[in-house]
Structure 1
Amino acid sequence: MTISSVLRDDHIRVVTMEHGKVNALPVADWFGVAEALDEASRDPQTHVVVLRAEGRGYNAGVDIKEMQNTSGMEALLGANAGCYAAFKAIYECSVPVIAAVNGHCIGGGVGLVGNADVVIASEDAYFSVPEVNQGALGAATHMARLVPQHMMRTLYFTAGRIPAKDLLQFGSVYRVVPREELDAAALEVAAVIAGKNTKVIRAAKEAINGIDPIDVNKSYRFEQGFTFELNLMGVADELRDDFAGTDKSGSKESNK
């Protein structure tokens, strides 16, 4: 498991993702994120969560190689269930969740950030939902919480990316800072929230979720249904093979 959770003396819980250089999370780690956020939600000593990452980037989505090197549908079903659990746990966490985003934030990473309450990013951070390249669908629900509707559609259909600095104009990213200042900036905002009455903040989180115009859990689950369809068609498996550089048996192809 490569998800760590540390509760500081100032009631700020820091949850860190670290899996390889790019943080393409395997199934177990998606559930690990969910477990860490559920623990924070239950703990009265946790007033706010900072969700951060080590490595070159924040999150590169699911581990495609794990999926292609696993027989049957077990890894695919696990990844879908794990992502759903992680996104849901962030959204429903009883305390605010601050996403401290460094470098790439791709696919499932957008799901994590889109359901967070506050987003702070480094100057090199960017966001992308390239699922169409791998024959999958998902996280449009969450990208739509970061950018306007037509921008979301353009990014989704083109598998394009948008830098964090461009999200400042939409108000979805609160601050963009040099990478070396990212943790400090996130902790600064977290300290302000942690200093408030936690019962009031927890009530505020529930109230704000209650007036949200979109049911993000239901919306994302709807998207996942199309991923299952694409897998049944066989097109998703072919595209993932191309991405992962594997043949149908799961071994490395000699010509790649």
Structure 2
Amino acid sequence: MLFRSALTQLQRRLYSQHASKLTNVTNNEGVKTITMCNPKTGNCLSIPMMQELISNISAEWECKDLRVIVLAAEGKIFSSGHDLKELSEEAGRESQEKVFSVASSLMRSIIECPVPIIAAVNGYAVASGCQLVAQCDLAVCTDISKFSTPGVNVGIFCSTPGVALARSVPKATTLKMLFTGKPIGAEEAVQTGLVSHCCSKEDFDKVLDELCADIVRKSRAVVEMGKRFYYKQIDQDIMTAYKNGGRVMVENLNLADGIEGVNSFVDKRKPKWTHS
């Protein structure tokens, strides 16, 4: 992919050093957890924070051991959205344009990442923080979590968060959030499809671990192929999507893991994935 090839050596060095105070990265049995650790600012999506998230998400894409990414946060706020200082009149138009350019790159890195990305939300996800949740492939939240796009309250309509919301939840919910700025709770977030799982704070880690384990047990090669086609077909008309979907499924059947999967089903045994 073009995005992957465009990664700079600097980004890779930043990832390997893990020196920043904005995020923390851990790896455990195929699960990479990227934790935003700037709770004093509500884990705001400043330009440095977004650049670091891009670097962390984009690292190790070729490693077969990487199977799923969890995007988490310290504190009571998952993310408060963009740093308004970078969007102020004093910051200037160039800074404003850079904020949304980097934000688009962050969302694109989630889409183009070969493995599923799960947002782990325990608290508030606001404005572009809510956009970040909506753009992730899956989301798990605690029952105290809330999601909002309150920009309209301060004269800044949440147009870019609306892009992700419109592709994740029904029109009525999206526009209610955008027009009123009022938050929706965890229960409504599940009902409308913004998040896939909701649980108590006590069960949060267990539910998240089980979801990650379910993905890790699958063939990475098959999941990667499926994720890439899913995002590609969204923008296609239905007949084109079916035509291309049939072609992708044939390609899938001829993957090493596709062949192994069919054979293991016929032989009534567990498949032995090579992730190729």
Tell me the TM-score normalized by structure 1.
0.76
Give the direction of change, closer, same or farther, for the CA distance of 1:114–1:71 in structure 2 (3 Å limit): closer
Distance in 2 between the 1:197 and 1:70 partners? 50
Which is higher, the Rg of structure 1 or of structure 2?
Answer: 2
1:159-198 → structure 2 map (5 Å cutoff): 159-198=181-220
Of residues 171-180 and 161-170 in structure 1, the stretch that sits farther from structure 2 once superposed is 171-180
Aligned counterparts, 1:236-255, within 5 A = none
Could you tell me how far 1:147 is from its partner in structure 2? Answer: 2.3
- Residues 98-156 of structure 1 show CA distances to partners (whole Å, capped at 9, x for unaligned) of 11111111111122111111111011111111222242432101112332102211210
Q: CA RMSD in A?
A: 2.0
**Secondary structure in 1 aligned to 2:119?**
strand
- Give unmatched runs, 5+ long, in structure 2: 1-19, 237-276
- Give % identity: 26
Partner of 1:6: 26
1:227 corresponds to which residue? Answer: none
Q: 1:79 to 1:42 in 2, by over 3 A?
A: farther
Contact map agreement 2:46 2:82 (CA 8 A) in 1: yes
Give the corresponding residue for 1:56.
Answer: 76
| Distance in 1 separating the partners of 2:89 and 2:171 | 36
Change (3 A) 1:99 1:198: same
- Report if aligned partners of 1:104, 1:127 keep a CA contact under 8 Å in 2: yes
Any conservation in 2 of the 1:62–1:108 contact (CA below 8 Å)? yes
Letter in 1 for 2:136: A
Q: Aligned with 1:210: secondary structure?
A: helix
Shift of 1:43: 3.0
2:164 equivalent to 1:142: yes
Describe the shift of the 1:117–1:69 C-alpha distance in structure 2 as closer, same or farther (beyond 3 A): same
C-alpha contact (below 8 Å) 1:146/1:167 kept by paired residues: no
Residue in structure 2 matching 1:18, options 23, 34, 37 = 37
**Hey, what's the Cα distance between the residues in 2 that align with 1:81 and 1:11?**
30
Post-superposition offset of 1:160: 1.5
Q: Residues 212 and 41 of structure 1: is their aligned pair in 2 closer, same or farther, counting only changes over 3 Å?
A: farther
Matches within 5 A, 1:1-256: 1=20, 2-8=22-28, 10-21=29-40, 22-68=42-88, 71-132=91-152, 133-136=154-157, 137-213=159-235
User: Are the equivalent residues in 2 in contact too, given 1:60–1:109 (CA < 8 A)?
Assistant: yes
* Residue segments in structure 1 that go unaligned for 5+ positions in a row: 215-256
Distance 1:191 1:197 in 2: 12
Query: Aligned partners of 1:27 and 1:95: how far apart in 2?
Result: 24
In structure 2, relative to structure 1, the CA distance for the partners of 1:163 and 1:72 (3 Å cut) is same
Which whole-Å CA distance do the structure 2 matches of 1:66 and 1:139 have between them? 17
- Please report how far the alpha carbon of residue 69 of structure 1 lies from its aligned counterpart in structure 2 after TM superposition: 8.8
How many equivalent residue pairs?
213
